[in-house]
Amino acid sequence: MKTIYLIFVLMSTFCVHAYAQQKPYMDYVLSWGGDTSILEVELTYSASQKDSTVFVFGDPGFGGQNDIFKVIKNIRVNQPEVVKIDYATRQITIHHNGAKKHQIRYEIDGSFNESLPTVASQTELFRPVITKGLLTLVNKQFTLEITDESNPLVSFIWRDHPKNFNYFNSVVPSQRDPLKNISAYYNQISEMVYFVMGDNIDVREYNVMDIPYYSVTTKKDKYGNDLQGSLSPFFESYFPSIHRFWNDTDFPFYFLAVSALQNNQKEIGAGGFGMKNGFVMKLGRTFGAWEKYVTAHETAHTWLGIKMMLGKESFDHQWFGEGFNDYTTLINLTNSKIYGQEEFLHYLNEDTLKKHYESEVKGAHNDSIAANYWTDYANYGKLPYRRGLIYAFFLDNQIRLASNGKFTLRNMLLDLYRYRKAKSKDEVLTVDDFISVGATYIDKEELSQQVKRFMIEGLPIDFNNVKLIDAFNIKINDGIPKLNLSEGADLATIYLI
């Protein structure tokens, strides 16, 4: 009897020690019937604070929806715990009152104003798609943000779901069974997790330079799209091209998800958002030339805008994160033969130079963009794209001329990418870094003045006084520059990678 008692004491001591040493965790259990707009969420978690735990739900900056609590509803906990909600700060506080097990349950409502389905679907990116036969979610739309300094292991599993629906997740894409748990640490998934489930979903896997790539689309839609067919050239040529451009194949996987909206009052274009290892698009019409550009531009953000950006926030210097990204997009669309000469010149001339030099805000200071971005997107939202692309094209030409064709803007960007990777994760890449790296290729003071005048102060480049490489020439009509290729010039040769 003494031996048994001793073993019991040892086991009890071990269990108490294991519980005390338990690492923080957040375990999500999800349920959806397949024919409603409601997702049920159950979260069991460890409490890092003795008396209470504070979560924050949602991000109004992600898509502009201010009333987050039209999405999260019916929030409840088990006694003796008590939940308090601060609607202004979006904080959800759970007072534990001595409880040892901590769990919160709530519902995510994907329904929208029936009179404005187009607006809700396209502009409110925060609103998830949860409707009959189709569910798409990112973690910003259904998970709770922790407010302490812990880095919990976060897991997801589906309790209820339609048995015949296809499923994809961006945590472990190879895991195709929703009944199996997937997990990652909080700091690994904080840049968004994506789920899609439906009876009209097709998931295909590609091998791109030994990296698993996933193509996730709706199978049929009212626009007559063959989305898998439209996307195949990206997996076959565009993605290999952009990997070669950056000399970078350090990827665990990548996914491209395009779902066609079925509830539009009118046809609209393509919108979406980039993630660390993927891009999610909401499509509101036939997949055409513009949608090819959007797909290429957003997936190129993997480097410019995600792995490398100037400033603390993406709004700080969008001329770089958006405009320079646009230029690398054009280069790789051309290099992969998805764009020919006509498409290349049309985008530069009609979509960029013409619209920029006609714009009433073309000379706006860089600092004014963030303040006006959402309220006047047609002008201020597009400004950094056009301004940055024009400057990237200009700078590429200056580097080519200064080096007699030995170097291009790509060389400078590769140097800047190496410089960024040499910094610690918490260090910020600055405009001064951009200028210091670029000084290898053109005069430092000249480059500094270009950035100051053209990108920060907003002075439009005067192409009357600009020399370009022999392959290009610009004519100016009523103050609007128009780019042409010289006779015999070949874009494939100019932008050969």
Sequence letter at residue 183? S
Cα gap 108→128, rounded to integer Å: 8
Instruction: Enumerate the CATH 1.10.390.10 domain ranges in the chain, comma separated.
Output: 200-302
Helices (H), 158-251: 186-189, 227-233, 239-246
Tens of pLDDT, residue by residue, the chain (497 residues): 444 443 333 344 334 333 344 689 999 999 999 999 999 999 999 986 679 999 999 887 776 666 788 889 999 999 999 999 999 999 999 999 999 899 999 999 987 666 654 444 444 456 788 888 889 888 888 999 998 888 899 999 999 999 889 999 999 999 999 999 999 999 888 777 999 999 999 999 999 999 999 999 999 888 899 999 999 999 999 999 999 999 999 889 999 999 887 555 566 667 777 777 899 888 888 998 889 999 999 899 989 988 898 988 767 799 999 999 999 999 999 999 999 999 999 999 999 999 999 999 999 998 888 888 878 888 888 999 999 999 999 999 999 999 999 999 999 999 999 999 999 888 999 999 999 999 999 999 999 999 999 999 999 999 999 999 999 999 999 999 999 999 999 999 999 88
Q: Alpha carbon of 327 to those of 269, 299, 435: distances in Å?
A: 21, 13, 18
DSSP calls for 407-470: --HHHHHHHHHHHHHHS-TTPPB-HHHHHHHHTTTS-HHHHHHHIIIIIIS-PPP-GGG----T
Q: Which two tokens stand for residue 149?
A: 């300094």
Cα gap 213→277, rounded to integer Å: 10
Cα gap 304→429, rounded to integer Å: 12
Q: Are 122 and 149 in contact (CB under 8 A)?
A: no
Q: Helix, strand or coil for residue 343? A: helix
**Cα angle vertex 192, ends 190, 196, to 5°?**
145
Instruction: Say what the pLDDT of residue 22 is.
Output: 62
Instruction: Say what the pLDDT of residue 8 is.
Output: 36
For 10, other C-beta atoms within 10 Å of its C-beta total 10
Q: Which two tokens stand for residue 192?
A: 């968004």
Instruction: Say what the pLDDT of residue 252 is.
Output: 92
Sequence letter at residue 469? I
200-302 has which fold?
A: Neutral Protease; domain 2 (1.10.390)
23-196 has which fold?
A: Immunoglobulin-like (2.60.40)
Burial class (CB in 10 A: 0-12, 13-18, 19+), 328: buried
Instruction: Say what the pLDDT of residue 162 is.
Output: 92
Instruction: Enumerate the CATH 2.60.40.3650 domain ranges in the chain, comma separated.
Output: 23-196
Instruction: Say what the pLDDT of residue 462 is.
Output: 95
> 384: cis peptide before it, omega within 30°?
no
